[in-house]
Chain A
Amino acid sequence: MPSFTATVDITHLPGILDPQGATIDRALPALGYTNVSQVKVGKSIRLTVAAESEAAARAQVDEMCHRLLANPVIEAFSITLERA
């Protein structure tokens, strides 16, 4: 069975405070990067799944995101798949 490497990017939903991003947003201009804005801090989770097809792998990782990896109340996620 083929293996797929999935990268799950988890970000805050719009309107949800991102205190870490806000802190970095303030720190970078203090270092002279005055042209920086909209800093967001999220999470990246990488995992490998064995599945019949890319579609099957994606469906399974999507389910994992809904059940465990992300909290839909405060987070959005996106999945990138590559054949391992």
Chain B
Amino acid sequence: MRIGVVQFPGTNCELDVMRVVTSLGGEAELLFHTEASARGVDAVIVPGGFAHGDYLRAGAIARFSPIMEAVAEYARSGGPVVGICNGFQVLCEAGLLPGALQKNAGLKFVCQTVELRVETTTTVLTNQATVGQILRVPINHFEGNYVCDDRTLDALRTEERIVVRYVVNPNGSRDDIAGVCNETRNVVGLMPHPERASEPLLGSDDGLVMLRSLFASVVAA
């Protein structure tokens, strides 16, 4: 099980993600932003941080990195790709996921553990969870307010592509959306950080079911 973890200048959650991947028995390897290949990994995680300083818009510069060309190609071929926090923003900018993340309503940076409700289990990040399951996972962002047009929201709802919702909306996200997936359900982006809810010492290990799901999607493929 080889999980590629993308690293841009300004990424800061890559080591946390790699640590959890390793603790679950996987092999984690960094994919530097200048690389033009995903090196045949079994899944890709785009972790959180402030890629290229979030200049212009979060993820706007990062999406043109050589590695993102490779990740997009990998996603199109059905490979599992997960974007966490800034990684979610990058995947939206890259057009791999619909919508965009804008500044939190109220202009507050939010850093707290929140409750998420699993809305679908037919994605690479939730196949080991149950619908309606409540997961306690930290969020840590200023631009996590998910927006999309009405037509996109209708599609997300009817195609059951809203992966997790906030139980209590912390940032103004449309329809309490915390994470969504693409049409083929192999690309998932979410603002909460499952890697930061990976052992009881951190206050919650509810994020493990998500990473176990990613592993399971590889085994099933």
A residues in contact (CB < 8 Å) with B:
16-17, 19-20, 23, 68-69, 71, 73-74
Contact = CB atoms under 8 A, between A and B. Distances in A.
B99 A19 contact: no
A19 B105 contact: yes
* Number of chain B interface residues as a range: 20 to 34
B100 A17 contact: no
Given A19-B107, A68-B56, A69-B56, A74 B102 contact: yes
A16 B56 contact: no
B104 interface: yes
B100 A19 contact: no
B105 A17 contact: yes
Contact of A17 (B57, B93, B98, B145): B145
A10 to B, nearest CB: 10
Given A17-B172, A20-B107, A71 B60 contact: yes
B104 A19 contact: yes
Contacts of A17: 102, 105, 145, 147, 172
Given A17-B172, A73-B147, 19 more contacts: A16-B147, A17-B105, A17-B145, A17-B147, A19-B106, A19-B107, A19-B145, A19-B172, A20-B103, A68-B56, A69-B56, A71-B60, A71-B93, A73-B92, A73-B98, A73-B100, A73-B148, A74-B102, A74-B147
A39 to B, nearest CB: 14
21 contacts: A16-B102, A16-B147, A17-B102, A17-B105, A19-B103, A19-B104, A19-B105, A19-B145, A20-B103, A20-B107, A68-B56, A68-B64, A69-B56, A71-B57, A71-B93, A71-B100, A73-B92, A73-B98, A73-B147, A74-B102, A74-B147
Complex A-B, nearest 4 residue pairs according to Cβ-Cβ distance, in ascending order: A73-B100, A74-B100, A19-B107, A19-B103
A16 to B, nearest CB: 6
A16 B103 CA distance: 11
Interface string B105-118: 11100000000000
B49 to A, nearest CB: 19
A84 to B, nearest CB: 23
